Amino acid sequence: MSINAREAILLAARNIAQSQGYNGLNYRDLASAVGIKPASIYYHFPSKADLGIAVARRYWEDGAAALEVICKQTPNPLQALQRFPEIFRRSLEADNRLCLGSFVGAETDNLPPAMAEEIQAFAQVNIAWLSRQLVAAHVCDAGASDARARAIFSAVAGAQLIARSRADISLYDTLIESYRAYGPLPA
């Protein structure tokens, strides 16, 4: 198996987990999505737990990279904060998927512990980035930035969940605009 096969497995597994959760992830469906035999997946991921951990780690790493792209493209921290909801919107744009951190995070009791840690890392990366931007934009001081960052992260993830449950991306946009008008997102 090539590195490309491994990447294809990770991508397909992420997509399945974003629409069906960790419990909905199985090697038969995954193999079908990738176009390989189920036994071939075991070459890269000997267990479902190994696969889940790799998918969750890649997800938060990709999320961190996306946040850095926002910073490079939008050096003004207030404007960067305003772009944060774009990341969650992309999942909705991709077949009405939910953020992996939200969907799989809801299954924490049934996750391998190492995967749960990787899922928590996704939230931590986002909250830390938001906190830094809030301070740099002078929206709040360092003492209040973590709490505000958690409120923003939770609100945006919640807006995504509500919009996904109704298959209505315009509802997501409306909720984000209300967060800008009434808090917690800075206008």
pLDDT > 90? residue 97: no
Helix (H) or strand (E) holding 83: helix 77-83
Check: CB of residue 158 under 8 Å from CB of residue 152.
Answer: no
- pLDDT for 1 beyond 70: no
pTM for the complete prediction? 0.91
The Cα 162–Cα 174 span in angstroms is 11
pLDDT, one tens digit per residue, over 115-132 is: 999 999 999 999 999 999
Q: What are phi and psi of 117, to 5 degrees?
A: -65, -40
Domain assignments of the chain as residue spans, ordered by start: 53-182
Superfamily classification of domain 53-182: Tetracycline Repressor, domain 2 (1.10.357.10)
Average pLDDT of the chain, as a whole number: 94
For residues 81 and 186, the answer to whether their CB atoms sit within 8 Å is: yes
Give the C-alpha separation, 80 to 94, whole Å: 22
